[in-house]
Structures are given as C-alpha cells and as structure tokens.
Amino acid sequence: MEKKLLSNSKIVGRHIIADLYGVKESKIAKKQDLEKIVEEAIAISGIKKIKSFYKQFKPHGVTGVVLISESHISIHTWPELGLVNLDIFTCGDLKKVESAFKVFIKRLEPKYHRKVILDRG
C-alpha cells in the first residue's frame, strides 16, 4: 500500500540511481581500475567509508558494494556493453551524493547517462 507524504515530512536521504552508457571497456573491466575510481569518488565527496567489497567476473566485469556510514554505494559493470549501473544513497549530507556522482561521470566519461534522483523520507 502506498503512503502519501504528509506536509510535515522531511527528506532524510537522497538516492541517485544511474545508468552510464558508452563507457570505455578499459575503465570498467578490471577490479583494480574500477576500485580506484570508486574510492576516489568517496574520498573527494567526503563520504565516510566503513567497508567495501569488489567481485571480479571472468573474463571481465566488476560488481562493487561500499558500506558507508550514511548508507551505500553499489556499482555493476558490463564492459562488453560499455554499461555501468550505479547507486549512491546517503541519509547524510545530500551534497555529498551529487559530489560523488560528478566524480563518477568525470572519471568514467560515459557518452551519455540516465539519472534518477529519489529523495527519501
């Protein structure tokens, strides 16, 4: 059952869900390369990381999940398609989500992307 937001509801978090298309295979095929980009996005945005886990697929492709103090970041790649699925969710400083997303766009250089922002609360 869907609940309607009350007029006194408050945004408690921001969730960016994005698909990045036309990303060079060399940027998203190997765990070590993708991990550097994710960790850079976390550091630059000021998000506090608790723990991360990355899985290398054969022959290529990576899944990564980062537990952050405010929620999570997840990334999944299909190098053969030039595709990245990215989720960034925080219930902390909403600017940090946008900052991290900008780093991903700058470093992954997709030809285009689709981005949905969900304000949670």
Q: Do 63 and 72 contact (CB within 8 A), yes or no?
A: no
Beta bridge partners of 102: none
**What is the C-alpha to C-alpha distance for residues 15 and 70, in angstroms, rounded to an integer?**
11
Q: Which helix (H) or strand (E) holds 55?
A: strand 49-56
Q: Do 14 and 89 contact (CB within 8 A), yes or no?
A: yes
So which residues are the catalytic ones?
Answer: 71, 76, 91
